[in-house]
Amino acid sequence: MKAVPGIAGIFIRWNSTTNEDDALVSAYNSSSVQSGWTGPDWGSKIASAVALMDYTDSPESLVSIIKEFKSSMHPLKVAGVM
């Protein structure tokens, strides 16, 4: 299976009353964050974290929803842990 660039993850909300879920596939837009760090590698994660602080009031500018879907299969059963 080929990985899709920019995928941040899948959020699943299971409704045990209806035995259905609402699922969202989200993407992370890292190109909008520029830390400006030019030093050693170890400092780039710190610089990126500091740059992300500018987006605490607007997380939607960093994360977008790629797809929404419903399923009738419990996500933990699909993962094989239930």
pLDDT in tens, 2-15: 656 678 888 888 88
Residues 24, 63 contacting (CB under 8 angstroms) = no
Q: Is the pLDDT of residue 1 over 60?
A: no
- For residue 42, count other CB atoms closer than 10 A to its CB: 7
Quote the tokens at residue 55: 């987006």
pLDDT in tens, 8-56: 888 888 888 888 888 888 888 767 666 666 777 777 778 878 888 888 8
pTM for the model: 0.59
pLDDT score at 47: 81
Residue 58 CB partners (closer than 8 Å, separation 6+): none
